[in-house]
Amino acid sequence: MDTADLGLPVDVPSTALFTDRYELTMLQAALRAGTADRRSVFEVFTRRLPGGRRYGVVAGTGRVLDAVENFRFDGGVLDFLAQHRIVDEPTLAWLADFRFRGDIWGYPEGEVYFPGSPIMRVEGTFAEAVLLETVILSILNHDSAVAAAASRMSVAAGGRPLIEMGARRTHELAAVAAARAAYVGGFATTSDLAAGFRYNIPTVGTSAHAFTLLHDSERDAFVAQVDSLGSDTTLLVDTFDVAEAVRTAVEIAGTELGAVRIDSGDLLLLAHRVRQQLDDLGAKGTKIVVTSDLDEYAIASLAAAPVDAYGVGTRLVTGSGHPTCSMVYKLVARAESDAADAPLVPVAKKSMGAKTSIGGRKWAARRLDADGVAEAEVVGSGPVPEALADRTLLVELVRGGEIVAREPLDAARDRHAAARAGLPLSATQLSQGEPVLPTEYLQA
Amino acid sequence: MDTADLGLPVDVPSTALFTDRYELTMLQAALRAGTADRRSVFEVFTRRLPGGRRYGVVAGTGRVLDAVENFRFDGGVLDFLAQHRIVDEPTLAWLADFRFRGDIWGYPEGEVYFPGSPIMRVEGTFAEAVLLETVILSILNHDSAVAAAASRMSVAAGGRPLIEMGARRTHELAAVAAARAAYVGGFATTSDLAAGFRYNIPTVGTSAHAFTLLHDSERDAFVAQVDSLGSDTTLLVDTFDVAEAVRTAVEIAGTELGAVRIDSGDLLLLAHRVRQQLDDLGAKGTKIVVTSDLDEYAIASLAAAPVDAYGVGTRLVTGSGHPTCSMVYKLVARAESDAADAPLVPVAKKSMGAKTSIGGRKWAARRLDADGVAEAEVVGSGPVPEALADRTLLVELVRGGEIVAREPLDAARDRHAAARAGLPLSATQLSQGEPVLPTEYLQA
């Protein structure tokens, strides 16, 4: 089947090709060597949080489940692999029947994470688990980066609503995932209609400078907008002169005017002036929306300003300086031999440099202090200590290839708010620092 | 129609929803006000290049053409818009019949650009042109950011081939576009199979640390790989001890070994040591591929090292510090009145701050000095001076809604190499500085 009919600007028939070529060549070599069926455990984790962040946010888990479910090699894909001699005939035959039949556990979506947290664990034969590396990392690295930025922005905004409006600043489908991740991180709405369509996230938006410039005067533009969208619309007031525009806006829409939007200039100063002017005009209920290169710091700097909502674009969808997480997907254990009942042995890269990792299939738990506040991320590969048994973090996501943990997006959003609230207060400092929880390793 | 069958992790039936909600509400208000049919000219440009870069690279043009062609509102989309009351009935009826029938001109893909360059110009009714804002900006902002990083990396690499391997660090479909943009910018190959499938970019890749760790010894792993992939494969030599691995690799594959890959540690030091060792073992033709958080600076620092190819991931797909361009889509001219033959008048936002722009429908030309080297980007809104007539930059892309400028991706890649070669030598300095060409405005 071909996606050309669908008008998508991409033409990729299955998630199976969101894969680096080496996964297929490793599969081929392992099939031939007889090692492809060795039971294997891969884990997703990061070695550090970016840029002095205090916590990370797991996002994309729901999308990973969709991708795993749809990871099949159909005719068109197999033809491509054959034609370009990417793998040999026995491997093609193996791929034609492939579906993932292993198990996946992971931090539930919206949960926070720290360096070394086993965010996701994929267990199955080497063959089936190695194939998922790229698509899982793509989704988690992208979505978690956006969610982390969103979470910081939502902290900075206090209770004020945040609008995601970054679609124009990122790839058109990354934008849809970014709106989803932003929602998990605490954003209220999105400007992106595709995100509304796909994930049912509430959409917002009224007008741009072009609408004002289309008309013979700002007054004509405001009349046109209010006439069509009602007086509770949001009028953009910074095309020419803000004070003049606010006066005209209230004159046309009345004191019931929904909101005004300021998209340039000194937002702190303008917000105060516009609030005063609106109040003086009797439009005490008219809200002020600000947009213009905002990030968590700019949002925080407006905390004392009379702002009712923030629209955030570029800095959100690019992870506020950290557009990707450094999550990796590493083989941490595998069957000791080719025997069907061979026990698992831990494995890890051992060479020099910062890229070493800790072998063994791991659990994780968040230890609380006497007040119920999180105090450590505990990761281990032996039995879970009894005191931590009800604080373990990984949940079952896929059992024998079947998805067992679908949930509405609001569940992830609520979980994130709760998880963040359970961290020490210093978690929500915007300044650079150490992760707010230390990661403690309990060796088996 | 529904994309669920296709196994895509997204479910968006048309490019029409890669749109910010305000474009539709502006359309509704303009339809009602009778201004929707005013002839309008929108231009895409940037106010600055990111981070002291010397030039920008236009990429994504071909994807824009696909997106415009497929920008239709079908039943499912219209139902969504109606159900969520995003627009009113007259607007829904208008959208049901919509296809873009206007004209698009632009810098051809691969061309370089500077602040103020009119990278793309969309002309039609306000209604049809305003709708394309988000999807055009998404594509150009993302793809051009990656292409700019790729171009700098390809300069730094000299003639050595660059491998794109960043799929795991970005959204799974952004990755496909990133591989495409990297190819335009000068990369030779990609690890991303979807990019090979969709754009016919050559794919490469052999094995990861997991493959070595799966086996009972590094030797077993190398034997398995060479047995399956042949002696001209690339063996990964940094899982345990590099010197030991290189010795084993040549022992198993012989002096015909294709390449070794080093993915951690001090690459400069290791490349020299490994080259010496390979030469001593008689494997003088065996190549050295390095990968590991490379960017243009790291690549440049390896210029004197015996490296044969570079694999680049994270820093490429995230634009080497600048994951998006700041391209905007602005109304620069529109019909003076609602009359069918009304002349165009220039328009521009006029308020304070850095967001002002220059009105009027523009042309651009690259002026050469006596030696044939580019010396200025000339932008104007009046007639083109005769001396620049054969140096104009915008080409016709869409005429009356029909795509007229499809081309193979190699044409864009070749054009980029030629355009870059036509710039002053300082264009290829990696250090921060001013744009290598000044932009001169010739007012009408």
At B404-433, the pLDDT tens digits run 999 999 999 999 999 999 999 999 999 999
Q: What is the overall mean pLDDT for chain A?
A: 94
At B164-209, the pLDDT tens digits run 999 999 999 999 999 999 999 999 999 999 999 999 999 999 999 9
Q: Decide if pLDDT at A11 tops 60.
A: no
Residue B353 vs residue A199, higher pLDDT:
A199
Q: Decide if pLDDT at B54 tops 80.
A: yes
ipTM of the complex model? 0.96
- Interchain contact B140–A (C-beta under 8 A): no
For range B351-373, the mean pLDDT: 85
Distance CA A50, CA A56 (A): 9
Q: Decide if pLDDT at B353 tops 80.
A: no
Taking CA atoms, A107 is separated from A69, B18, B37, B170, in Å, by 19, 31, 52, 20
Q: How confident is the model at residue A8 (pLDDT cuts 50, 70, 90)?
A: low
Whether A15 and B9 lie within 8 Å, measured CB to CB: yes
Q: How confident is the model at residue A353 (pLDDT cuts 50, 70, 90)?
A: low
Q: Measured between CA atoms, how close is B114 to chain A, in angstroms?
A: 18
pLDDT at B357: 74
Pairing type for strands B402-403 and B344-346 reads: unpaired
B75-82 CB contacts, 8 Å cutoff, 24+ apart: B76/B1, B76/B2, B76/B13, B77/A197, B77/B13, B77/B14, B77/B16, B77/B17, B80/A193, B80/A196, B80/A197, B80/B17, B81/A193, B81/B24
Distance CA B95, CA B72 (A): 8
Distance CA A291, CA A237 (A): 12
pLDDT at A134: 98
Mutate to test the interface with A, among B2, B6, B44, B239 (most CBs of A within 10 A): B6
Burial of A306 (0-12, 13-18, 19+ CB in 10 A): middle
Q: Decide if pLDDT at B320 tops 50.
A: yes
Phi/psi of residue A404, each to 5°?
Answer: -120, 5
Distance CA B122, CA B113 (A): 17
- Per CB-CB distance under 8 Å, the chain B contacts of A8 are 3, 8, 12, 14-15, 70
Q: Residue A47: which residues within 8 A CB-CB, separation 6 or more?
A: A115, A116, A326, A328, A354, A355, A357
Q: Measured between CA atoms, how close is B25 to chain A, in angstroms?
A: 6
Whether B352 and A19 lie within 8 Å, measured CB to CB: no
Query: What Rg value do the Cα atoms of chain A yield, rounded?
Result: 25
Question: What are the structure tokens assigned to A349, written together?
Answer: 């890269």
Among A277, A214, A205, smallest CA distance to A241 is for A277
Pairing type for strands B374-380 and B363-368 reads: antiparallel
Please tell me chain B's helix, strand, coil percentages from 3-state DSSP, rounded to the nearest 5.
Answer: 40, 20, 40
Taking CA atoms, A433 is separated from A294, A426, A430, in Å, by 22, 10, 9
Nearest to A19 among B193, B223, B266 (CB): B193
Nearest to A165 among B10, B20, B215 (CB): B20
* A240: nearest CA partner in chain B: B351
For range A266-291, the mean pLDDT: 97
For range A60-72, the mean pLDDT: 95
Q: Decide if pLDDT at B351 tops 70.
A: no
- Interchain contact B46–A (C-beta under 8 A): no
Mutate to test the interface with A, among B14, B19, B26 (most CBs of A within 10 A): B26
Whether B9 and A228 lie within 8 Å, measured CB to CB: no
Using the CB atoms, write b or e for A51-74: b if 16+ within 10 Å: eebbbbbbbbbbbbbbbbbbbbbe
SS3 B235: strand
Distance CA B276, CA B247 (A): 12
Q: How confident is the model at residue A5 (pLDDT cuts 50, 70, 90)?
A: very low
- Interchain contact A357–B (C-beta under 8 A): no
Mutate to test the interface with A, among B213, B219, B312 (most CBs of A within 10 A): B213
Q: Measured between CA atoms, how close is B349 to chain A, in angstroms?
A: 5
pLDDT at A355: 60
- Interchain contact B126–A (C-beta under 8 A): yes
For range A355-361, the mean pLDDT: 79
At A142-190, the pLDDT tens digits run 999 999 999 999 999 999 999 999 999 999 999 999 999 999 999 999 9
pLDDT at A13: 57
For the sheet containing A395-399, what is the strand order? A344-346, A328-335, A39-45, A120-125, A103-106, A395-399, A402-403
Place of tokens 């490296």: B307
Count of beta carbons in the 10 Å neighbourhood of residue A368: 14
Interface of B with A in 358-417 (CB under 8 A): none
Q: Decide if pLDDT at B388 tops 80.
A: yes
Q: Does domain A38-69+100-131+327-442 have CATH number 3.20.140.10?
A: yes
Taking CA atoms, B227 is separated from A125, B246, B317, B424, in Å, by 21, 17, 34, 50
At A50-62, the pLDDT tens digits run 989 999 999 999 9
**Does the predicted TM-score (pTM) go above 0.95?**
yes
Looking at the DSSP bridge assignments, the partners of residue B164 are B190, B312
DSSP B19: S
Q: Decide if pLDDT at B67 tops 80.
A: yes
Among A423, A55, A243, A170, smallest CA distance to B146 is for A170
- Interchain contact A126–B (C-beta under 8 A): yes
Burial of B74 (0-12, 13-18, 19+ CB in 10 A): middle
Distance CA A176, CA A163 (A): 14
Give the domain A147-321 fold: TIM Barrel (3.20.20)
Nearest to B12 among A167, A197, A314 (CB): A197
Q: Decide if pLDDT at A31 tops 80.
A: yes
Give the domain B39-70+101-146+323-442 fold: nicotinate phosphoribosyltransferase (3.20.140)
At A199-226, the pLDDT tens digits run 999 999 999 999 999 999 999 999 999 9
- Interchain contact A85–B (C-beta under 8 A): no
Taking CA atoms, A339 is separated from A117, B45, B210, B225, B227, in Å, by 31, 62, 19, 21, 22
pLDDT at A164: 98
Q: Decide if pLDDT at B6 tops 50.
A: no
- Residue A256, CA atoms < 13 Å, CB-side half-sphere: 6
For range A115-132, the mean pLDDT: 98
pLDDT at B75: 87
Strands (E), B229-286: 234-236, 259-262
* A270: nearest CA partner in chain B: B352
pLDDT at A443: 77
CATH architecture under which domain B206-307 falls: Alpha-Beta Barrel (3.20)
pLDDT at B373: 97
pLDDT at B443: 77
Taking CA atoms, B127 is separated from B82, B95, B241, in Å, by 19, 10, 64
End-to-end CA distance of chain B: 49
Q: Out of A16-25, B318-327, B333-342, B344-353, pick the least confident.
A: B344-353
Whether B8 and A70 lie within 8 Å, measured CB to CB: yes
pLDDT at B350: 80
Whether A167 and B210 lie within 8 Å, measured CB to CB: no
Mutate to test the interface with B, among A168, A241, A263, A312 (most CBs of B within 10 A): A168
Q: What is the overall mean pLDDT for chain B?
A: 94
Q: Where are the domains of chain B?
A: 39-70+101-146+323-442, 206-307
- Per CB-CB distance under 8 Å, the chain A contacts of B72 are 7
Alpha helix (H) residue ranges in A372-438: 409-421
DSSP B335: E
- Per CB-CB distance under 8 Å, the chain B contacts of A321 are none
Q: Decide if pLDDT at B380 tops 90.
A: yes
Distance CA A17, CA A63 (A): 16
